[in-house]
Amino acid sequence: MIAELGAFSLIIACILAWASASMLLLIPFKRAEHIAQVTTQTIILQCMFSILAFIILVYSFIISDFSIALVAKHSHTLKPLLYKITGTWGNHEGSMMLWVLELSIITTLFALTSNIPPLDKTIILSIQSLLIGIFLLFLIYTSNPFTRVFGIQDGLGLNPLLQDIGLAIHPPILYLGYTSCSIPFSLAILALLKADLKIYIAYIMRPWITLAWLSLGAGIGLGSWWAYRELGWGGFWFWDPVENASLMPWLTSTALLHSIIVSIKQNALKNWSIFLAIITLTLSILGTFLVRSGILLSVHSFASDPTRGIFILIILAFITIGSLLIFAVKSHRIFSVPVILNSKSGYILFATLFLVYGCFVVLWGTLYPIFYSLFTDQQISVAEHYFGITFIPLIPIILFLASLAPYLKWVKHSITKITLYKFIFSLFSSILTITILYYYFKIYTIISMLLLFSSTILIVNMCMLFLTRIKLFEVSVSNTIYNIVLLPQSFLAMIIGHIAFAIMVIAITLNANLRIDTEQALTVGEKIQFAHYNSTLKKIDYGSDNNYFYKRAKLYISDKLGNEITTLYPEIRFYPVEQTKTTESAIYMHGHSDLYAILGDSNHNELKIPIRIYYQPMINWLWGSIILITISGIVAIIGQIAKIKFIKYNN
């Protein structure tokens, strides 16, 4: 009965979504205020039924209701409670239901918090409802999560690689980013229909852009953290198609985050901002298609279904073609002030162009194997080298533009002596830093030096900008503190975000150049040397836990003098229910670096055990920078929401 209630809730939610989408047809016959009110109420009701359906599905996983096919395929009585719950979205049907749920919640949140003209609100909610209705139809007719099955007692279990806290929270956060892109998309369509990206539309768009941006970034970070710990290859980014699927909308949302500022400040780049809002949502749906269709080989593909991927492709084509047609017909009516290239607006424009070009590079590298297989009937993958020579060189350029932009005004600008002195100071301090890094770390590649130099100069410039703003050394300590408290959230977010991004680039660059790994088959008591450390295999243990068996190595880690640092316990696990073997890395945080050990498969030779050990410098700076970037987004949203209260709405 509970499965039928869940399916019924989805059907009601779908009917309500389409009813809300059709409210636009009533505009000629009813007052705009009345239609907006009814649309909002319908949206809220639709969201409630979506939440009810999702709660029923989660409850079915918790109680191990194996009469539901989805639960039987992706759960087991022995599975821990946390992974029973997260197993809800560790599959195709559940993940698409999570998408619909978050899209419904985002739309309801907008309906309850926005205070825009009634007609505008009705248009936006109708577009959002159309998106919800399309995905609910897809869910009900091709991916019903409440399909019944009988005769299964224990279930088939969840993929062991998904039984990890990082990946448990990764999909909800990533999908929050995907679905948040829908609000800027709907606002962009509204701007096209009104033939102007009005100031209030741009202001309302900003926090939703930022929410999408920080959620996508946090989701990418969690995915990298999971890959680093669970996949057992010592890395965190592989330019995998699924990784690229979330990177592409993050790049365009980063561009949109900056271009919308120019649209607000200078009444410029309006069509560019609208276009970016459109392609960011379409790239989010494209990412869902790539992940769920199984059309590309990926180390992250756990919930794909090729037979249903074609339906997502149809949805993508409908939304993309429809929105771009509206853009083609209406965009010429929108007036924008021309951008002066030698200004802050010009530099932001250049930066966004490089970001979009970077997105195209990633898109082509991701889709090329599909086109190749269509014409040759052969499967290939694009190597990491392609991205290294096409995408990575763009990063120093973007960092240099970010360093120079703060010194420029919104209008045509000539650099003053003070500004010139500040820039020269930051330039020389960066050169000094890079020189020290060069001699200390022996990094010789040009691209690495450019990455380190551009990152350092950005950090120095952001610090100087902050110190100038708070008037350090110019006023008393109490006044300095007072100035810090009064800093706008947008300024703080900009400083934190840019410094954090520069730190991330430095961490990745140093890790790529200085990482050391060694592999050797050891007998018990034998020692292996790596970096500045020694590792001794003390013993091998065999045992079992709740739902798996394990082979566990005990590795004694010491410095060159024999002083103990830590003991690592890498494992190989076998899950009998899923008939799957996994590698569990052992990681010790040692300062800014990690000591990372993996236990290899001995192929029935238990006398010699393969051990692979990595020295991972600066890896913890990477995770810290991702946290800082997320914090910068939260700070920015707080300031952006506060500004909306003072906007004057006019049609």
- Give the pLDDT score at 303: 47
- Give the pLDDT score at 459: 92
pLDDT tens digits, one per residue of 78-127:
778 888 888 898 888 999 999 999 999 999 999 999 889 999 999 999 99
pLDDT of 21 above 70:
yes
Residue 378 domain-assigned?
no
Percent of the chain with pLDDT over 90: 51
Q: How distant is the alpha carbon of residue 323 from its chain centre?
A: 24
- Give the pLDDT score at 372: 82
Closest CA to 597 of 538, 554, 560: 554
pLDDT tens digits, one per residue of 435-472:
776 766 777 788 998 899 899 889 988 998 898 888 77
Instruction: Place 409 in a pLDDT band, splitting at 50, 70 and 90.
Output: confident
- Give the pLDDT score at 422: 65
Is 179 in the same domain as 154?
Answer: no
Separation of alpha carbons 316 and 283, rounded Å: 9
Please give the tally of structural domains in the chain: 4
Residue 153 domain-assigned?
yes
- Give the pLDDT score at 309: 73
- Give the pLDDT score at 650: 59
Closest CA to 427 of 381, 379, 461: 461
Q: Residue 171, class by beta-carbon neighbours within 10 Å (0-12 exposed, 13-18 middle, 19+ buried)?
A: buried
**pLDDT, average across residues 40-46:** 97
pLDDT tens digits, one per residue of 134-148:
999 999 998 899 998
Is 178 in the same domain as 213?
Answer: yes
Residue 370 domain-assigned?
no
Closest CA to 524 of 602, 603, 615: 602
Instruction: Place 639 in a pLDDT band, splitting at 50, 70 and 90.
Output: very high
Average pLDDT, the chain: 88
Q: Which amino acid, 259?
A: S
- Give the pLDDT score at 299: 47
**pLDDT, average across residues 322-345:** 92
- Give the pLDDT score at 418: 54
Is 419 in the same domain as 322?
Answer: no
Pairing, β 527-530 against β 533-544: antiparallel
Residue 593 domain-assigned?
yes
Element (H, E) at 9: helix 2-21
Is 469 in the same domain as 565?
Answer: no
Collect contacts of 568-574 with beta carbons under 8 A, ≥24 apart: 568/535, 568/595, 568/597, 570/597, 570/598, 570/599, 570/611, 571/599, 572/599, 572/601, 573/160, 573/548, 573/549, 574/548, 574/549, 574/550
Is 458 in the same domain as 475?
Answer: yes
Q: Determine contact, residues 188/120, Cβ cutoff 8 Å.
A: no
Residue 641 domain-assigned?
no
pLDDT tens digits, one per residue of 143-201:
899 998 887 777 676 677 777 787 788 899 999 999 999 999 999 999 999 988 989 99
Residue 645 domain-assigned?
no
- Give the pLDDT score at 98: 95
Stronger pLDDT, 61 or 434, i.e. the higher one: 61
Residue 360 domain-assigned?
no
**CA quadruple 255, 256, 261, 266: dihedral positive or negative?**
positive
pLDDT of 546 above 80:
no
- Give the pLDDT score at 646: 72
pLDDT of 41 above 90:
yes
Is 430 in the same domain as 520?
Answer: no
From 353, 385, 413, give the residue that closes a domain: 353
Is 147 in the same domain as 168?
Answer: no
pLDDT of 305 above 70:
no
pLDDT of 364 above 70:
yes
Separation of alpha carbons 607 and 563, rounded Å: 27
CB burial of 110-145 (b: ≥16 within 10 Å; e: otherwise) equals: bbeebebebbbbbbbbbbbbbbbbbbbebbbebbbb
| CA quadruple 380, 385, 389, 391: dihedral, nearest 10 | 70
Instruction: Place 414 in a pLDDT band, splitting at 50, 70 and 90.
Output: low
Q: Determine contact, residues 490/640, Cβ cutoff 8 Å.
A: yes
Rank 78-87, 249-258, 530-539 by mean pLDDT and report only the highest.
Answer: 249-258
Note down the domain range covering 576.
Answer: 516-616
- Give the pLDDT score at 158: 65
Is 463 in the same domain as 507?
Answer: yes
Is 28 in the same domain as 144?
Answer: yes
What lies within 8 Å, CB to CB, of 424 at 6+ separation is: none
Separation of alpha carbons 449 and 554, rounded Å: 39
pLDDT of 251 above 50:
yes
pLDDT of 383 above 70:
yes
Is 447 in the same domain as 324?
Answer: no
Is 489 in the same domain as 530?
Answer: no
pLDDT of 297 above 70:
no
Separation of alpha carbons 525 and 518, rounded Å: 18
Is 191 in the same domain as 257?
Answer: yes
Residue 402 domain-assigned?
yes
Closest CA to 396 of 437, 451, 462, 435: 451
Closest CA to 557 of 597, 608, 610: 597
